[in-house]
Amino acid sequence: MAVYTRIGAEAMDALIARFDVGTLTSAKGIAEGVSNSNWIIETTGKSGGGARFILTVYEERTEVEELPFFLNLLDHLSAAGCPVPRTIHDVDGAPFREFVTDDGETKHLALIEFLPGVSADNPTPGQAEAVGRALAGIHLAALDYPAQRKNTMGHAAWRGFVADCEGRWGEIDSALEVVPTAVEDVIARWPRGLPQSVIHADLFPDNVLLVGDSVSGLIDFYFACTGPMVYDVAVTHAAWSFSGDGKRHDRAVGDAILRGYEAVRPLSSEERAALPIMSEGASLRFLLTRAYDWLFTPAGALVTKKDPLAFKRRYDFYQREGAGAFA
């Protein structure tokens, strides 16, 4: 949670004026997003009725060359009826803009549709089923998305994190010393040739807005990439069906994710068979980034460190349960 960029009122006025959305009436920095800065923006709207947007300023960790992939994807999915915020294009038709901050740095920003809804903390099976349906919906809608993007959090990245953390697992917890072996084991057993689409790859409860049991928004597509659809199901299962610390698995929620997904897009037998190993891999992927952040985030950084063990426990669960983890 943080706002890393300072934009004064006059500068904000001028930035918003580059979009055909009326004049600025309010701008409040929000405590969301770990890599980018975000504001809730209010304007008079084009017809004077008032309108709201999320303004995102991309900070160091986002590659500008990748913005068209992410921002056009939102438009593609939204046009297909998925609950995804549209990108507001500027008066020149561009989906993002360069600007100079008050501190003289050149950065990039985009204006995104504001969607209502709140994120679930203790998801119900009803909510999980809706999330499964929405996930299948974006997979199907993205099948004809023309662009591709490599998963920057794939196997090569896993090995990179393992190398970075070498010899230091015990600083977090000795239970993590098996991680290098587990990573190589999962990569060795990784199935190939599964059906691909654009996957969200980070669909945690934080990234889903709900109104009651309905999904009003899937957000934060900045890890979206081309990949096996069933890996996204595994990420979502790992993200939703455990207590935050990974100690308690909620079978009803996990089953509901799958039930919702398959109501829209049934898994093939190959995908079904891949679920356990994909889930082990998904658990390791988040274990690794958390371990890296744990060891390398400078003291005093404006982010909360998350416990890598929460995903070691998920990994252990999936290894132990195998296919029995899934309905």
Binding site for a copy of itself (CB under 8 A): 1-3, 8-13, 24-32, 40, 42, 102, 116-122, 209-211, 299-300, 302
Residues 109 and 195: their CA atoms lie apart, in Å, by 33
For a copy of itself, give the closer residue by CB, 40 or 147.
40
- Min separation Cβ 303 and a copy of itself, Å: 10
For a copy of itself, give the closer residue by CB, 3 or 74.
3
- Min separation Cβ 260 and a copy of itself, Å: 19
For a copy of itself, give the closer residue by CB, 79 or 211.
211
Question: Cα angle at 271 between 265 and 273, to 5 degrees?
Answer: 135
- Min separation Cβ 209 and a copy of itself, Å: 8
Residues 168 and 29: their CA atoms lie apart, in Å, by 36
- Min separation Cβ 249 and a copy of itself, Å: 19
Which residues, in sequence order, are CB contacts of 279 under 8 Å at separation 6+? Answer: 234, 237, 238, 314, 318, 325
For a copy of itself, give the closer residue by CB, 129 or 280.
129
- Min separation Cβ 293 and a copy of itself, Å: 15
For a copy of itself, give the closer residue by CB, 16 or 142.
16
Closest CA to 14 of 55, 60, 64: 55
Residues 302 and 36: their CA atoms lie apart, in Å, by 12
3 state SS of 97? strand
Residues 303 and 20: their CA atoms lie apart, in Å, by 34
Which DSSP string do the residues of 261-315 spell out, in sequence order?
HHHHSPPPHHHHHHHHHHHHHHHHHHHHHHHHHHHHSPTT-SS----THHHHHHH
For a copy of itself, give the closer residue by CB, 64 or 301.
301
3 state SS of 191? coil
- Min separation Cβ 26 and a copy of itself, Å: 5
For a copy of itself, give the closer residue by CB, 220 or 271.
220
- CA pseudo-torsion sign 128, 152, 291, 273: positive
- Min separation Cβ 13 and a copy of itself, Å: 8
